[in-house]
Structure 1
């Protein structure tokens, strides 16, 4: 009996060692995929009303770095300020919705940024400068709600795609007392952003082809309105850094416009980078090109002192 007991004791001991070593080996081999585990570190707070005009509610989504608890109250904040991305969808100021942009914003969520993804009034609801007004109101909302959502107001990046990129440029470049469309809108505050990401957006609307666009009010003086709606009008020595991404064969926003924008940035001493994707059109970038683009974005942020991670 004694020998039998010793045999089983040794067997259990050896099995325990095997299980322990196998378990450790499995832990070493498992790689944590940040995208798979986003639900553990972030959640979407949808359809927050940030601006009301004539009973029309304009909404945004917040993708917030929060810890999932698995029980009531379900989520908690870590109490750490996070860099913020203020994002505006495209659609020619006439179409589009914030929901369509959600997947595009995951690179920031994976780095534990806070993301504010907005809708704004489209041309069928209100003519220019309404969309610009809404974008500035969203920036104001970020400042006013920084404590609740742990927004780092020293690290806010305005970004957008196409028409949304135009709005991102306007949001970041406008300063207090600037006026649009013959004083239809006068900027009331001096809220700042730390940088702007311009994904194939227009920086200059002062061209004849834009005359008669559905976003413009036909009663406005075209020359005055188009100049006031052109981001290049507001470039100056105090402007935030700008990085632009555009295909060289873009049929809607000629690459020459972005090249001119960045020439002016250099003249004013504005930190800037133009990422040109050869042979591509209006944002139809491949997986390899998008990986390259984001490496350029993170490198640019490192250069200008914008946090690249919310860790």
Structure 2
């Protein structure tokens, strides 16, 4: 990937690129059901019709430079943005905060594009480069960038939706739940806009291990949080449940009931806390679903529920939303 390259192309002209097979194989293992099925079914990122794909693609856009390294994002603009600002989905990949990369193409985001959304996919610092709270700071900076560049890409800043799978689901929660006066944001990215909704796909919501003992946390979490005397305090600060409030954005949650990595109890507890606060939310539990490995029928039902949830919050155009039952 070339740093700072800003490539804008029409979707109908995208051709297959060489040398991407290994990266695509890696993505399938970490990105979860939303994108994996499409990547597995598609040999190359060749564009579909204008109706199904973005009309403008801008890749490798630097959105933050920190520690001497530039971080990049990719933008997939919906055709409707030429007429009026569109809702925009900001996606964070999974991989235990330690591995993974943003998707190579837009094809895994067809349901969102079909629903009228533009899509932004984000690179963030991994644990080997910088421990917590670096990835959360990057996620917040991506949110800030989307707001600052809304006019250029036709984004509707009142309809910003943050989403992610696994560790990316955690980052989506943190990006959407942090208040504007938090002490985590980098100075360059303060005053990020409030997200209109959060789509959390099997992300951990409580990193404390359910107590105050560092050893109670999983090795994956401990690797990102780091050690030292302040590890417990950092784990609590990096836990989305710490930042819940009555005015938190609406949250859609999806989780497999047989997840061996992030227990489904994390999402059940999150839903109960949201209910107690009166925050609109929905919890979809995939029967027989593992960590992002959901049966096809469950994956399809999950996406329909996620889109319906956004429709219920009036975040998508009427044409993208199914008619009420009985009509």
Q: TM-score, normalised by structure 2?
A: 0.76
Q: Secondary structure at the match of 1:99?
A: coil
**C-alpha separation between the residues in 1 aligned to 2:269 and 2:163?**
19
* Partner residue in 1 for 2:314: 305
2:172 matches 1:163: no
Counterparts in 2 of 1:243-282, with a 5 A limit?
243-282=252-291
By how many angstroms is 1:177 displaced? 2.2
Q: Which has the larger radius of gyration?
A: 1
**C-alpha separation between the residues in 2 aligned to 1:39 and 1:265?**
34
* Partner residue in 2 for 1:197: 199
Unaligned runs of 5+ residues in structure 1 are 1-33, 68-76
> Over residues 185-211 of structure 1, what are the superposed CA-to-partner deviations in whole Å (9 max), with x where a residue is unaligned?
898325201100000100000012246
* Partner residue in 2 for 1:111: 115
Q: Using a 3 Å threshold, how does the CA distance of structure 1 residues 306 and 184 change in structure 2: closer, same or farther?
A: closer
* Partner residue in 2 for 1:224: 233
**C-alpha separation between the residues in 1 aligned to 2:143 and 2:77?**
16
By how many angstroms is 1:213 displaced? 2.1
> Over residues 234-293 of structure 1, what are the superposed CA-to-partner deviations in whole Å (9 max), with x where a residue is unaligned?
001110000111100100111111000000000100000000011211011233222211
By how many angstroms is 1:133 displaced? 0.3
- The question of whether the paired residues in 2 share the 8 Å contact of 1:66 and 1:78 is answered with yes
**C-alpha separation between the residues in 1 aligned to 2:126 and 2:265?**
27
Flag as ranges the 4+ runs of structure 1 deviating above 6 A.
Answer: 183-187
Aligned length: 267
Q: TM-score, normalised by structure 1?
A: 0.79
By how many angstroms is 1:164 displaced? 0.2
Q: Using a 3 Å threshold, how does the CA distance of structure 1 residues 187 and 289 change in structure 2: closer, same or farther?
A: same
Alignment equivalent of 1:143, drawn from 129, 142, 147:
147
By how many angstroms is 1:66 displaced? 4.1
> Over residues 47-79 of structure 1, what are the superposed CA-to-partner deviations in whole Å (9 max), with x where a residue is unaligned?
000000022010000011249xxxxxxxxx624
Unaligned runs of 5+ residues in structure 2 are 1-46, 210-215, 321-327
Q: Using a 3 Å threshold, how does the CA distance of structure 1 residues 186 and 112 change in structure 2: closer, same or farther?
A: closer
**C-alpha separation between the residues in 2 aligned to 1:187 and 1:144?**
10
